[in-house]
Amino acid sequence: MSRLEELQISDPRINERIRVPEVRLVGAQGEQIGVVKIEDALRMAQEQDLDLVEVAPTSKPPVAKLMDFGKFKYEAAQKVREARKNQVNTILKTVRFGLKIDDHDYGTKRAQIVKFLKAGDKVKVIVVFRGREQSRPEMGIKLLQKLAEEVAELGVVESNPSIDGRNMVMVIGPLKNKADAKAEAKKAADKAKKAESVEQPKESAPEEAADVKKSAAESAAE
């Protein structure tokens, strides 16, 4: 089904597309007008420069309302866009390890995972086996268990280590959801900004004191 067909089916019938003998009419302000003939309802809509919109087609008789349908659709679309904008989704991040990763690289990878978990994102950790390393799956489990223990304050294992082809996979979920993580980050940023604005006048205090002292000295000399 095309997008156009979906819109045509989901959109309510309006004005002359409402093919029933009578409707239960609701005014533009929500007032109940009552059951009226369809031609009378259409005439009232035209007189008020509004549309007649069928809002409950299965009722007996169908319920129709007087409204500015173009404005209604625009506001509805705005609400959908706003909801999508404010919608907070958990993102699945991926971090790959080699089985024989050195301490420095391991620390870097762990720092990435910590950053993702603090931001409220899930992390898919992949240990890549090369060559004969595939015969040592216990080494991959040991590495992943060590990692899970080190980030336990921020995340919990949602999917235990499992073999996936030549890789071993584990998923760690954040203890805080995305919305809470964003709220905390904003709060911390606002706090830092406030602290910075408070400290700034203090820096200028010595200069102000020097100016006062200079003025006092000039007055004494006079």
Q: What CATH number is associated with residue 22?
A: 3.10.20.80
Domain that holds residue 61: 3-69
Are residues 159 and 101 located together in one domain of the fold? Answer: yes
pLDDT at 218 over 90: no
Residue type for position 109: K
Lowest pLDDT segment from 32-36, 58-62, 126-130, 212-216:
212-216
If one counts the domains in the chain, the total is 2
pLDDT at 17 over 60: yes
* pLDDT digit string, tens, across residues 156-204: 998 899 998 889 999 999 987 766 777 777 777 788 777 777 666 555 4
Contacts of 33 (CB under 8 A, 6+ apart): 25, 26, 27, 44
In the Cβ-directed half-sphere of 190, how many Cα atoms lie within 13 Å?
A: 6
Rounded Cα–Cα distance for residues 12 and 18 (Å): 9
Query: Which pLDDT belongs to residue 3?
Result: 38
**Paired residues of 167 in beta bridges:** 128, 164
Query: Which pLDDT belongs to residue 222?
Result: 53
Rounded Cα–Cα distance for residues 2 and 136 (Å): 51
Strand order in the sheet with 32-37: 32-37, 22-26, 63-67, 51-56
* pLDDT digit string, tens, across residues 43-54: 999 999 999 999
